[in-house]
Structure 1
Amino acid sequence: MIPNLRAPYYLILSSQCACPSCGQATAVHALAVPPSHETLDPDGGDGGQPAHDDGWRRDPSAAILSGVSLLAREVGELLVRQAPGFAPDPKRQDVWTNHCGHCAVPILYGQLMAFPGRAFTPTDAEQARAIGVQRIEAPLEAFVELRWTDGYPDLRPLLQRLGFADAAPP
């Protein structure tokens, strides 16, 4: 496995959700990257922007990342300090996963993003403003299983909050 995403900077998002195991409110975190981040497409088969000679392709959309691994040591150390409970899960090949601050049970991204009104899919601007945003002025390189982009309409309020979406829906 090799990194398949790189960005000139990244964002740490912070929110709250009810733990699906113990029911208590707990902090949860996610990483986001700006428009023009790059993804590795060695086959050049997705039909998007032309790939560079090395297989990297620029993505015009911002993305919320899911299933993140292979982070640089410095990024991991920063996340340990800035995003408590967000840590590598040895049961998931060290994928960075949220863990409940009370019972330590992993909280998977499907529980945080799959439906409107979840921790990182706010239904309106007011809910989006409740999501903490910390911009990290350092490059990010990682292996990412899934990128939630503006192709996912439920992300619109969050992307607007981040300044990565037009105010009017498409």
Structure 2
Amino acid sequence: MAAQDPSTTGPDGEAFNIRASSYFVLRAAHRCDACGSVSPVIALAVPPGHESTEADLELDDADADSPGLDPQAFRDWLFAPVQWQTIPGPAMISSTRALAPGVAQTLSALAPGYRPNPERSGEWSNFCEHCDKPIWDGALYPTTGQAFCPGGPEAAAQVSAQQVDAPFAAFYGMCWTDSYRNKWPLFARLGYVCDETE
């Protein structure tokens, strides 16, 4: 069996599904559900021009009423070799299962409260700095008003962003792109203005 390219796989052999030439470490504050204390939390984001194997399929107008792929075309798509696609907008990831070793090493120095959670099969999680309980990603990302979903420029200004000029690779479960309008204030905070014309 051929060895996998270590630049495209995680430490446990997971195939990375996002990569970039640089990345952002975002920092915000969150009140821990377990102890009620305010704790720092971090998130990871990548700039426009990053690459992903999980890009959304874009259907043109002619495909809008399609019943979908026929069974053989679906099988061909499902078992096709991984293809990297360049994504024109920024993205933020969550439910991160694997990070490239260099990224993991940088994060252990910059954000020791963000680390693999053994209770979630090693998924990277924020841990409260006061009680050391894991903080669920669902409390940080999806809903406007949460730490990494600021409702406007004022709230976004409370999120700090440190750009790391080093290669990034990860395997994520959820990717928040600029197709999520509620992420626009956060992406604007990173210097990427999103609007309807993109």
Q: TM > 0.5 between the two?
A: yes
Cα distance in 1, alignment partners of residues 90 and 23 from structure 2: 10
The CA deviation at 1:73 is 2.0
Amino acid of the structure 2 residue aligned with 1:98: N
SS at match of 1:91: helix
Normalising by structure 1, report the TM-score: 0.88
Mapping of 1:29-40 within 5 angstroms? 29-40=42-53
Measured in 2, the distance between the counterparts of 1:47 and 1:5 equals 18
CA RMSD, Structure 1 to Structure 2 (Å)? 1.9
Q: State whether structure 2 residue 27 is matched by structure 1 residue 14.
A: yes
Q: What is the aligned partner in structure 2 of residue 104 from structure 1?
A: 132
Looking at structure 2, the residues matched to 47 and 121 of structure 1 have their Cα atoms a distance apart, in angstroms, of: 25
Question: Are positions 1:154 and 2:182 aligned together?
Answer: yes
**Structure 2 residue corresponding to 1:125, chosen from 153, 161, 175:** 153
Report 1:8-157 matches (<5 A): 8-41=21-54, 46-47=57-58, 55-157=83-185
Q: Deviations over 1:24-62 (max 9, x none)?
A: 100000000011111115xx88238xxxx8611111121
- Residues 78-131 of structure 1: CA distance to partner in whole angstroms, max 9, x if unpaired? 101111310011122211100111111111211001211110111111111111
Residues 45 and 103 (structure 1 numbering): CA distance in 2 closer, same or farther, change over 3 Å? closer
More strand per residue: 1 or 2? 1
List runs of 5+ in structure 2 lacking aligned partners.
1-13, 60-80
Give how far 1:70 is off. 2.2
Percent of aligned positions with the same letter in both sequences?
37
What SS does structure 1 have at the residue aligned with 2:92?
strand
Q: Which of 1 and 2 has greater Rg?
A: 2
Query: Which runs of 5 or more residues in structure 1 are unaligned?
Result: none
The answer to whether the 8 A contact 1:125-1:157 is kept is: yes
Q: TM-score, normalised by structure 2?
A: 0.76
Partners of 1:62 and 1:54 lie apart in 2 by 21
Cα 1:117–1:80, aligned 2, differ >3 Å: closer, same or farther?
Answer: same
